[in-house]
Chain A
Amino acid sequence: MSTVSQFALLFIGGALINNILLTRFIGLCPFFGVSGNMETSMGMSFAVVFVMMMASTATWVVWEFVLAPLGVGEFLYIPAFILIIASLVQFVEMYLRKASPVLYRAMGIFLPLITTNCAVLATATESAKPGFFKLNIAVGASLSLGQALIYTLGVSVGFGFALITFAALRERLELAGVPRLFKGTPIAFITAGLLSLAYVGFSGWFGL
């Protein structure tokens, strides 16, 4: 398989076919938490792309040069990854507040919310730790840094796409005559289920 088609498969596989929200049901708290409003979901989407890319890079480097050579990765990877991601994101947030107020206002407030998010940790672990990447693509024993970044980009773009789609749907629900029992979060759960049903159509694309 050529590199280009492999990268394309990594991206589509992460974004659509194995959508982290609607196919794998990871990271659902921000999915329901911020999707009530279009602007916050857009800010959250950018923040997720940003954080996931940083987290995957950091965990990949740490696994490759610290955890694996020392032979402690097998039992230390979860605390190590959480610590790295959380502290890195906090530092970046502080830096953003100082250096780029515009960027900070756009997504800064979401950064602390997703530092310890399961979707971020899952994607970073899949990218960094051998044996966790489950897509049916021949990538050898583990992902290279380039593959990991393309895959992470696919996952995070898929996250943002699903979140923004869902926010637009919920916006329309505001005016619908939903029975009082189902108003708010219950109907949001049902909508998410139906959206997830639509994503079933992607299952098995390209044999992934």
Chain B
Amino acid sequence: MAGLTGRRVVGPSPHIKEGTTCTSIMLWVVAALAPSALWAVVTMGWVAAQLLIVCIVVSLATEYGANLLARRPQTLTDGSALVTGLLLAMSLPPRTPWWVAAAAAIIAIGLAKQLFGGLGHNLFNPALVGRAFVAVSWAGVLAAAPNRGWFQTLPDVTAEGLDTISGATRLAVAAADRAASGAYGFDLAAEYQPLLWKNLEGSLGEISAALLIAGGLLLIVKGIIDWRIPAGYIGTMAIVSLLFGADPVFHVLAGGVMLGAFYMATDYVSSPMSKSGRLAYGIGCGLFNAVGRFVGAMPESTTFAILFMNGLAPLIDRMSRPRTFGWVKRDA
């Protein structure tokens, strides 16, 4: 579907066949995410690798099992389950207990994708549904993740000479500071460098904003994702943060914005089809994400903001439907 985003003129035959397939698009997404995932494994250690393995293996297995149950042709080779598993792992904190990660992957593929009819029919982004499901079901377990599960028995990443792994992310600290005194207790500008290059707080996908941006730009240049969604998303994030009197650069770099804007919100199936609709959708994601951060109970709301806009996508499509040439509306 990547070709659909670019300018395309369909003439009479003969046609030249383009090599773009579903699999190639999915593999490009994996390639764009791979540096971040590898960097997470290098810096966070084996815990990150385990989370990646659990999410990807369970996603693939669920896809296989669901197709088997529904007596449908196997779809493992289209790479979509691999992307879902990878995205899901990137959206979870590294010390998520393995069974929580597995449950998220089963929900993502089994409920959010296969029950709706498989690739191309999921109304909501499967990885985000999986993440939201476990975030709501096991909020306490996830909050206490550093002290739980079999990851704990493994060599601690701090033993490798890294800084400590703290429980609260910068956004949580920022939210607590705002609630306590209305001002920030730490220097936001000093966080730019860690957030860009090596951030050990939060989810796997928060490891390095720079790597995610580089991968996202690659996908935009390749014509795989539409620039309107991340541009609308990140731009709105920055503007709304400014309106709330907060540092826009910090709020764009921190949390799940980069992962959400470039990789989650741009899912073909759950985002609108028209160009203007995509811009509106991106702006909506940014708006609800930013406002949720400042007035909400949770320090971050990327997941729910994108899920909410996924729900609105069919409505946006209806409203931004292009007019048919040669027809005029009949007077009522």
Contact = CB atoms under 8 A, between A and B. Distances in A.
Interface residues of B, number: 35
A195 interface: yes
Contacts of A134: none
Interface stretch (B3-11, B37-45, B81-89, B110-118): B110-118
A169 B297 contact: no
Nearest to B136: A200
A172 B132 contact: no
Contacts, number: 87
B22 interface: no
A200 B314 CA distance: 20
A168 B318 contact: yes
A165 interface: yes
A177 B121 contact: yes
A77 interface: no
A79 interface: no
Contacts of A194: 112, 123-124, 129, 307, 311
A201 B291 CA distance: 11
Nearest to B69: A179
A203 B297 contact: yes
Interface string A169-205: 1011100111100100001001100110111111111
B137 to A, nearest CB: 10
B312 interface: yes
B324 to A, nearest CB: 18
Contacts of A195: 311
A29 to B, nearest CB: 21
How would you classify the secondary structure of chain A's contact residues: helix, strand, loop or mixed?
helix
Contacts of A205: 291-292, 295-297
A206 interface: yes
Contact of A201 (B114, B123, B308): B308
Given A169-B311, A201-B308, A205-B292, A179 B70 contact: yes
A164 B129 CA distance: 21
Contacts of A179: 70, 114-115, 117
A200 B123 contact: no
Contact of A165 (B129, B288, B292, B312): B312
12 contacts: A168-B317, A172-B123, A173-B116, A173-B123, A177-B118, A179-B70, A182-B115, A187-B116, A198-B310, A199-B308, A202-B304, A206-B295
Which 10 A/B pairs are nearest by Cβ-Cβ distance? A201-B304, A204-B297, A177-B117, A176-B121, A198-B307, A168-B314, A176-B117, A168-B315, A198-B308, A172-B314
Given A172-B314, A201-B298, 9 more contacts: A165-B315, A168-B315, A194-B123, A194-B124, A197-B136, A198-B132, A201-B307, A204-B296, A204-B298
